[in-house]
Amino acid sequence: MGKTNSALLVVCFSALFISAAQASWFWNDFYAFFGQNNVKFPGPKVGRTVVLSMTNQTGSGFRSYSPYLFGRFSIKIKTMKGYSAGTVTAFHMASNSKNWCELDYEFLGNVTGQPYNLQTNIFVEGIGNREQRINLWFDPSAAYHEYTFLWNQKQVLFLVDTIVIRVFKNQQGLPYLDYQPMFVYGSEWNGDDWATRGGLDKINWAYAPFEASFTAFNIHNSCKVKNPLSLNQLHTCYRKARISTYGQGVNLSLNKKQINDLRWIRQKYLTYDYCIDKARFAGKVPPECRQNWP
């Protein structure tokens, strides 16, 4: 192995273990990438929490410096109270290649007194159209709750606190989120042409600024990729991910509790599922839907 390769290996190796640090400072891994003036760091522990706000001028967002391949990514989020119709508060991951991969959490705001919807979506090879929406069993504006992506070579889990709300499995013959390291993002933006009751309820700027708070940034057992164009580096990360706790054993498939979680969500909280929206797909549901729910 050449000099460059072993250097890269060291980078990935250390990233894998360093990333076990709990609840890091915002600026260790992230920077404000749009609406900088609307990105705030309230005290007393400046840098533990970031508040993204949207004014009539602009929304705002942060992004990780590096992309990551596999791992566990979680952030605690508290959305805004009161009138939030038309606003979208998002925590997502995405690669930046032409046929990109993406995993989304999107809190769709509502008029005062009506509940948020939590929309999730998955893009593989540049194609999304995999929306699911749920009501939450709590008010996401009342307190922080943890939202997690757990991504390994076999499945992606979406967790709200300890509850699995969605799974996307790596199924033979179907595209999967593979070999494309993804950046981690948080954002606050105007989605009032679609977000609330399909765009009927608009943003009311009298309630601006709209602010959501993010804290407890955790990236675990993940491989930070310095150069996503280096195949060597990706292979190394892939190998490291496979031997991490997330890439092995029970974490490769759903356990009993997770199966029960998903059944509970589907029965009680699901408000939209692309897999049962036959009209949208000319009568044929997408092939991955067979394994979307246990």
Ligand X SMILES: *[C@@H]1O[C@H](CO)[C@@H](O)[C@H](O)[C@H]1NC(C)=O
Residues designated catalytic: 102, 106
Regarding 204 and contact with ligand X (CB under 6 A), the answer is no
- The single residue among 12, 108, 219, 241 that binds ligand X, judged by CB under 6 A, is 108
- The single residue among 105, 217, 246, 274 that binds ligand X, judged by CB under 6 A, is 246
- The single residue among 114, 190, 204, 227 that binds ligand X, judged by CB under 6 A, is 114
Site string for ligand X, 48-87 (x = CB under 6 A): --------x-------------------------------
Within 258-287, the residues that bind ligand X by CB under 6 A are 271
Residue bearing tokens 């394994």: 291
Backbone angles phi, psi at 47, to 5 degrees: 110, -10
Rounded Cα–Cα distance for residues 210 and 78 (Å):
12
Rounded Cα–Cα distance for residues 277 and 268 (Å):
18
Regarding 251 and contact with ligand X (CB under 6 A), the answer is yes
Site string for ligand X, 152-191 (x = CB under 6 A): ----------------------------------------
Angle made by CA atoms 213, 218, 219, in degrees to the nearest 5: 135
The candidate with the shortest Cα–Cα distance to 84, out of 230, 183, 181, 188, is: 188
Regarding 112 and contact with ligand X (CB under 6 A), the answer is no
CB-based contacts of 223, cutoff 8 Å, min separation 6: 12, 15, 16, 68, 69, 70, 71, 181, 236, 237, 238, 240, 241
> Considering the complex, what minimum distance in angstroms separates the CB of residue 252 from ligand X?
8
